[in-house]
Amino acid sequence: MFRKSPSGPRPLLLKLMTIVAAAMMLVGAAVAAQPYYTDLQADRDQEQLARELKSEKAKEAFQKNELAVGTPVTRIRIPKLGVDTVVVEGTSKEALDAGSGHYSESAIPGQPGNVAIAGHRVTYGKPFHDLDQLAEGDRAFLDTPVGSYVYEMVPSFGGHANPWVIAPDDWSVIAPTPEPMLTLTTCHPKGSARQRLVARLRLVETPPETVDA
């Protein structure tokens, strides 16, 4: 004697639970794959930006300080961290999709004051992933269309360490400084925008043809 298949709400509930579980798996897979795809996008952007940075158009824009948002400003290299990425003008989401961006309110390399750069920590090439590992004496190089500027990590100052953590709305770190500095910012902790991590470096070398600020 065969028993009839159960009917009613139970099979419908099981089917619904199966659909929800499958949807959750797809969402989880998409979230897990996001950093990989953003890194691919940044790699493609970086190839194009590297070519643009070498152009006469980029050199003229840099010399006149007429930098359009999203265009290349400089290449930042931090040997200790393996960082080698082109920095674009602006810190909007679209600009930072290239990996790192120059705060438009701050100086550009060669100008007096504070050059400030923001970079991703976990996506879009994650150039500042290990920014917390910088220490006194470590160097960063800004390769611009007119030459390279060398910056060196300064010791702890102002009662805090260097690097140090600040609130996400603390914009004082990108304000002008009395001497030429480089300020690097990124999200903190990794994967969160709850705070920002900041590193401060001092200009120690300029291109031969450039007069010290």
Domain boundary assignment for the chain:
36-205
Residue range 36-205 forms a domain whose CATH class is mainly beta
pLDDT for 18 beyond 80: no
Residue 144 or residue 212, greater confidence: 144
* Structure confidence at residue 25 (pLDDT): 63
Which pLDDT score, from 0 to 100, does residue 114 have? 98
Where do we find the tokens 């980029």? 58
Smallest Cα–Cα separation from 118: which of 141, 146, 159, 89?
Answer: 89
How far CA 47 is from CA of 40, 54, 102, 189, in Å, comes to 11, 12, 18, 29
For 212, residues 6+ apart whose C-beta sits below 8 A from its C-beta are 180, 203, 206
Q: The dihedral of CA 122, 126, 127, 129: what is its sign?
A: positive
Q: Is 53 helix (H, G, I), strand (E, B) or coil?
A: helix
Task: Tell me the pLDDT tens digit for each residue of 84-95.
Answer: 999 999 999 999
Report, as an integer, the average pLDDT of 177-205. 95
- Residue 114, beta-bridge partner list: 181
E strands in 27-180? 72-78, 83-89, 100-102, 114-119, 139-144, 147-153, 164-166
**How confident is the model at residue 2, as a pLDDT?**
45
Whether the predicted pLDDT of 209 surpasses 80: no
